[in-house]
Amino acid sequence: MRSLPLPLALTARISPVAVLACAGWALTSGPAAPPSAAGHQTDRTTPTQSSSGSSGPSSTAAARAYTTAPSPCTSVPGATVKSLVPGAKTAGKEIPSTDATLRRTCSWNALQGYDYRWLDVSFEVSGSQQEAQAEYQQRVKEKSGGGTVPGLGNSAYSVVNLTTEDKQQTREGVVMVQVSNALVIVTYNGSDFETKKAPGTDEINKGAIQAARAAVGALGGGRSQSG
């Protein structure tokens, strides 16, 4: 572990994290990326055409397959957390929600040396599959430039962006998945405060998708008894 004093960019990065957590961040899709500066850059994932034949449950059975949001802090295996966020406590920290029955979020973050990682997993349960589809489509519109993720939920989308602030790069990947009447939102980002660079697009994208697959598998805990 290096003993050099932490750079100003680190303080600037961690301070807003604490503010966002206190604000009850579970109402959003995940942690906000650092504000874009004039040097903002965007990395685009290559869209992968998902099979239109991958079908979910019938519309009747899928109207409300899930009634409650599962525990987000147990949705990602400890080994995965350790791999994606080295140095983080595997238990994570659940963010306060105005309605924990329908919306829950857990965050993991850690700094090893000057290498920073953040992972955020959110579950949102809607009243019907149609509502979840509409919300999913709206969020995809708001985060253009990504691509579909085949074989994940009814619909899944991944996008990776690079932002630069005060010469510090941060790369963030977001994966959104619609499964019946539920949404799974994963945000994964990282920075190196010594080199001022960010992890590669492939590393961030694969990490976000890995966490999303685990989170989708954990949705069963909120399944309706009649679904």
Domain at 122, CATH number? 3.40.1000
CA atoms within 13 A on the CB side of 211: 34
Q: What's the pLDDT score for residue 168?
A: 98
196 in a structural domain: yes
Distance CA 160, CA 156 (A): 14
Q: What's the pLDDT score for residue 131?
A: 96
Distance CA 56, CA 47 (A): 21
Q: Which has more confidence, 120 or 221? A: 120
Distance of CA 43 to the CA centre of its chain: 17
Residue 75 structural domain? 8-47+57-222
What tens digit of pLDDT does each residue of 81-125 get? 999 999 999 999 999 998 989 999 999 999 999 999 999 999 999
Distance CA 107, CA 88 (A): 10
pLDDT band at 46 (very low <50, low <70, confident <90, very high): very low
Give 172's contacts (C-beta < 8 A, 6+ positions apart): 33, 160, 161, 163, 187, 188, 189, 204
The mean of the pLDDT values for the chain is 80
DSSP character string of 179-211: ETTEEEEEEEEEEETTT-----HHHHHHHHHHH
Q: What's the pLDDT score for residue 108?
A: 99
133 in a structural domain: yes
pTM score: 0.73
Check whether 165 has a pLDDT greater than 80: yes
Q: What's the pLDDT score for residue 220?
A: 81
184 in a structural domain: yes
Give 43's contacts (C-beta < 8 A, 6+ positions apart): 160, 161, 162, 171, 201
Nearest residue to 25 via CA among 72, 65, 66, 91: 72
Which stretch of DSSP H or E encloses residue 117? Answer: strand 115-125
Nearest residue to 94 via CA among 183, 14, 23, 26: 26
Check whether 51 has a pLDDT greater than 60: no
200 in a structural domain: yes
Q: What's the pLDDT score for residue 197?
A: 98
175 in a structural domain: yes
157 in a structural domain: yes
Task: Assess contact for 169 and 190: CB atoms under 8 A.
Answer: no
Query: b or e along 158-173 (b: 16 or more beta carbons within 10 Å of the residue's beta carbon)?
Result: bbbbbbbbeebbbbbb
Total number of domains constituting the chain: 1
Mean pLDDT of 178-198: 98
227 in a structural domain: no
Q: What's the pLDDT score for residue 35?
A: 38
pLDDT band at 225 (very low <50, low <70, confident <90, very high): low
Mean pLDDT of 19-43: 38
Q: What's the pLDDT score for residue 222?
A: 62
Check whether 201 has a pLDDT greater than 70: yes
Q: What's the pLDDT score for residue 63?
A: 57
Q: Dig out the tokens for 18 from the structure.
A: 């604490």
1 in a structural domain: no
Q: Which has more confidence, 116 or 58? A: 116
Q: What's the pLDDT score for residue 45?
A: 43
Q: What's the pLDDT score for residue 219?
A: 92
